[in-house]
Amino acid sequence: MPRRIASHKIPVDRISRSAIRVVESLRKAHYETYLVGGCVRDLLLGLVPKDFDVATSATPEEVKKVFPRARLIGRRFRIVHVRVGREIIEVSTFRKQIGPNDTSNYNEHEARDGVIVRDNVYGNIDEDAFRRDFTVNALYYDPANNIVLDFVKGMQDIGSRTLRLIGNPKVRYQEDPVRILRAIRLTAKLDFTLEKSTEKAIAPAGESLNVVPSARLFDELNKLFMSGKAERAFELLQKFNLLEILFPLSSDATDLVTAALYSTDQRIAQEKPVTPGFILAALLWNHYRSQYNALATIGNPQEKQFDAARTVIQEQQHTIAIPKRHAFFMRDVWHLQSRLERRTPRSIRPLLEHRRFRAAYDFLLLRARNAEVEPGLAQWWTEIQTLNPTEQQEQISALSPQKKKRRRRPKRENA
Ligand code: ATP
Ligand code: MG
């Protein structure tokens, strides 16, 4: 039986109206329905939830009957996206945990070597609680009665700020190795302590990340980098020796990477736009450069840059599927570095107008701070952006090498 907690501190006004409407509609149709997961956890911690997840006894098809315009998504894990206004509420059906050797539900549940590849066997709410990852993620909130349901002593862990896997950590990481990255991301994001056995099982399970589809790894790493606590999360990846598994090309993290993580965290705190491409560009920068240098010295430098970028990104794709738009971003930031360093007078204006100028300039600043380029160069690019067009022209002209005076040929004397 769950504990029913009425004396919690969930600020009701912070709950999305849309999420409550979804819960109410499903309840009206007689399905048992709650808010669950990250939103309940964050509300209890006084944080603003990123999104709202709903858990229900209705199957995806039944949810769709209640919300005809909703979309069924996912195969490994089927859920329903209900759009209310501009918000998307994720609705998942209560599921139950299936033992590793149980094959009786083959169509809905499948595990290969202990790794769950399909997880669609529905169950009731208490079964659902135990198949969730961490105790603090398995709290259910009933908005109609303003009560939290706790099956796994999650409230206690909220109180002591502890991240604890439900069940046997070794088995739970093996079933779904992405939980390793979730453990790291949530520890960093919430500033929690990892419970001992939850922590101890991480490093030995690291290798199993190799079996996770590369697209899913990208999604999870993207969340980790964009969590606002990327620097801390990255330290944890290093601590558990996960860097060599995820980024075999750059397992020795450089100061440039730390600087890129720090700058991303700062920008998120200031609500400025960020992209995982910037961190990935920093992570693979050294490898890109050595790849470029390894190409024969003859040949068109631009082609060599393209070749080097393509090779590095392709190699990284073996583990993490970097979406095209991010790959293009990385390539542009890399290529622009040499143009920013060269400062050819004719290229200055086009560079200032290049759509990736800002990102490439930010990257150059980090490199300057790490003594990779002379500080005067970064300074010059900082200044030129503050000048009006006439002043800019003066600066650009000052770059031009002095026009060589034509040497007069001595006149041949006629014989
Ligand atoms: P946030 O949305 O803040 O990133 P979250 O915990 O809500 O964090 P979601 O990916 O939205 O993360 O997942 C919602 C809930 O689904 C989780 O809180 C957890 O209960 C459950 N869950 C998600 N991923 C897993 C997993 N790999 N294994 C078991 N349960 C999971
Ligand atoms: Mg969530």
Residue ranges of domains in the chain: 1-160
116 confidence band (pLDDT: 50, 70, 90): confident
pLDDT of residue 112: 81
Model confidence band, residue 158 (pLDDT cutoffs 50, 70, 90): very high
Is residue 406 scored above 70 in pLDDT?
A: no
Residue partners of 98: CB distance under 8 A and separation at least 6 = 105, 109, 111, 121
Residue 412's pLDDT band (cuts 50, 70, 90): low
pLDDT band at 296 (very low <50, low <70, confident <90, very high): confident
Average pLDDT over residues 133-154: 97
Pocket-forming residues, ligand 1, beta carbon under 6 Å? 37-38, 50-51, 53, 132-133, 137-138, 176, 178-179, 223
Tell whether the model's pLDDT for residue 142 goes beyond 70. Answer: yes
Pocket test for ligand 1, best of 88, 132, 164, 165 (most atoms within 8 A of CB): 132
Can 133 be counted among the known catalytic residues? yes
Could you report the per-residue pLDDT of 22-54, keeping only the tens digit for each?
Answer: 999 999 999 999 999 999 999 999 999 999 999
252 tagged catalytic: no
The residue nearest atom 8 of ligand 1, judged by CA position, is 38
Percent of the chain with pLDDT over 90: 81
Q: How many CB atoms lie within 10 A of CB 24?
A: 13
* pLDDT reading at 115 higher than 70: yes
| pLDDT, mean over the chain | 92
User: Sorting pLDDT into bands at 50, 70 and 90, what band is 250?
Assistant: confident
Question: Which residue from 40, 51, 137, 219 has its CB within 8 A of the most atoms of ligand 1, so it is best to mutate?
Answer: 137
Question: Which one of the listed residues 128, 133, 150, 176 is annotated catalytic?
Answer: 133
pLDDT at 405 over 50: no
Whose alpha carbon is nearest atom 12 of ligand 1? 38
Return phi, psi of residue 165, to 5°.
Answer: -70, 145
- In this structure, CATH architecture of domain 1-160: 2-Layer Sandwich (3.30)
- pLDDT of amino acid 108: 77
Residues 200, 318: Cα–Cα separation, whole Å: 27
Q: Distance of CA 265 to CAs 2, 67, 111, Å? A: 38, 38, 37
CA torsion sign for 72, 74, 78, 81 is negative
Of the pLDDT bands very low, low, confident and very high (cuts 50, 70, 90), residue 411 is: low
How many alpha carbons fall within 13 Å on the CB side of residue 156? Answer: 7
Percent of the chain residues past pLDDT 70, beyond the cut: 94
Position 375 confidence tier, pLDDT thresholds 50, 70, 90: confident
Task: Kindly report which listed range (222-226, 240-244, 246-250) carries the lowest average pLDDT score.
Answer: 246-250
Place of tokens 């971003």: 329
Backbone angles phi, psi at 117, to 5 degrees: -110, -10
Residue 117: in which H helix or E strand, if any?
Answer: strand 115-119
